[in-house]
Amino acid sequence: MPRGRFRPRANRCNVPAMSAAADALTQQFLTWVAEAPRSYADADAWRRSCPHFAIWEDAISDGLVRFENGGTREQSRLTLTAEGRKRLVQK
């Protein structure tokens, strides 16, 4: 290819690195949930702090956390499930 011409670069998407980053964020989220009782508003604030990551939603869909219904949104508590506690201990 002639000098000075645009050369496409290989795809820089590093899946293992992205997976490791997501795993680290999930671990951070699980640790945060385990530290103290968390309300729905607390969890929503955590989610909104970085809306590009679906860690909160993934943790729910993966069965790592769940909301214990307290009757109102403010009374509901985010808790670790048995699977979430197991994942937290593994790391």
The answer to whether position 17 is within a domain reads no
The answer to whether position 60 is within a domain reads yes
User: What residue numbers bound the domain in which 63 lies?
Assistant: 36-90
Residue 88 CA to residue 75 CA, distance in Å, equals 25
The answer to whether position 23 is within a domain reads no
Q: How many domains does the chain have?
A: 1
What tokens were used for 22?
A: 């997501």
Out of 16-20, 39-43, 52-56, 83-87, least confident range: 16-20
Q: What is the pTM of this model?
A: 0.70
The answer to whether position 42 is within a domain reads yes
The answer to whether position 3 is within a domain reads no
The answer to whether position 59 is within a domain reads yes
Would you state the torsion angle of the CA atoms of residues 20, 67, 38, 23, taken in this order, to the nearest 10 degrees?
A: 0
The answer to whether position 63 is within a domain reads yes
Q: Is the pLDDT of residue 11 over 50?
A: no
Q: Is the pLDDT of residue 7 over 70?
A: no
The whole-number average pLDDT for the span 40-59 is: 77
Listing DSSP states for 39-88 in one string gives EHHHHHHHHHHSTT--HHHHHHHTTSEEEEP-SSTTT-EEEE-HHHHHHH
- Band (pLDDT 50/70/90 cuts) for residue 18 is low
The answer to whether position 1 is within a domain reads no
Amino acid identity, position 6: F
Q: Contact at 8 Å (CB) between 63 and 85?
A: no
CA distances from 10 to 13, 14, 32, 45 (A): 9, 11, 37, 37
